[in-house]
Amino acid sequence: MKICVIGGGGAIGGYLAVMLARAGNDVTVVARGATLAAIKERGLALIMNDQPEPLVAQVKAVEKIADAGISDVVILAVKAHQVDPIIHDLAAIIGPETILIPMQNGIPWWYFQKLGGDYQDHSVETVDPGGVAKLAINPNNIIGCVVYPATFTQAPGVIRHVEGNRFPLGELDGKPTDRIQKISEMMTAAGFKSPILEDIRSEIWLKLWGNMTFNPISSLTHGTLEGICQHPLTKELARNMMAEAQTIAEKLGVTFRVDIERRIAGAEKVGKHKTSMLQDLEAGRSLEVDALLGSVIELGKITDTPTPCLNTVFALTKYLDENVQASKGSLALPSVSGY
């Protein structure tokens, strides 16, 4: 297939691009700066813990989305807060038959599209102010996906895989279509586990359960997944946040296939891994706090669900993000006199 990976130089996008290209697909990645230069010069490299040498893929690399042209599949592998600035460029490369696979953490802009019920076509303002993405992208082009692998960018054009290879897929209306079967087969051939789910939204919540708790807690404490799950106070905080979110999700018809304790245990097994939000914090990048926490709090309001723990952690993380951005990525505050 002809595949465009937007954010192909990033941790998840790069992982996907290398594996899909090595499986024989025609892959174009959209990247910028030093990453773009490195991919053009040396290709895109992926370091797997069980491989003695990096896996290298020679992919086409472009800076502008428009230069990628119309593809069979477009994988949108950028952070949730990075979608809005490129949404109209993205819409321009999506043809009538193009399959768009958004891979953002958190509640996606399309969450209430093709859902039915009381909230049909409701906009998630926290991640899509004014419903811009909802209006620009036809939901018929979208296949939902949940991203489970842990990866990080080691150097420009070099991705390191930590663990996991699951990318569950689902049509927004849950139907078992021919096209989703083809995408699942494409992903499987590239070495991924991509089962087709009837209810992709329940899987989104299962992943989000961890992201909305461990990511902000790790950014506030600089703790790893293992450390957060083993420290009694942070583990209890995570448990309380998950309970609030579960109440919201169940009001929206979501079913959780595991309980809170099992979800926490699963995060602990990942080990001394820095969450993506902590990696972003240390690199001075903007945090996904709105997508991971703000969106859940918004859904709490529309379902009349109290979210005291989520509100507190959101306030702290939001202020942390604003402070870091104001200091241009520095984690050290200017010296001031004692209080």
Q: Which residues form the catalytic set?
A: 207
SS (H, E, C) 141-207: HEEEECCCCEEEEEECCEEEEEECCECCEEECCCCCCHHHHHHHHHHHHCCCECCECCCHHHHHHHH
**Of 53, 66, 71, which is closest to residue 17 (Cα–Cα)?**
71
CA distance 283 to 291: 19
Classify the phi-psi angles of 75: left when phi > 0, otherwise alpha if psi is within -120 to 50, otherwise beta: beta
3-state secondary structure of 108: coil
**Of 2, 24, 27, 25, which is closest to residue 14 (Cα–Cα)?**
27
Contacts of 99 (CB under 8 A, 6+ apart): 72, 73, 74, 141, 142, 143, 179, 183
Instruction: Please say whether the beta carbons of 103 and 145 come within 8 A.
Output: yes
CA distance 265 to 165: 19
3-state secondary structure of 282: helix
Phi then psi for residue 227, to 5 deg, are -65, -45
| β-bridge mates for residue 150, sequence order | 163
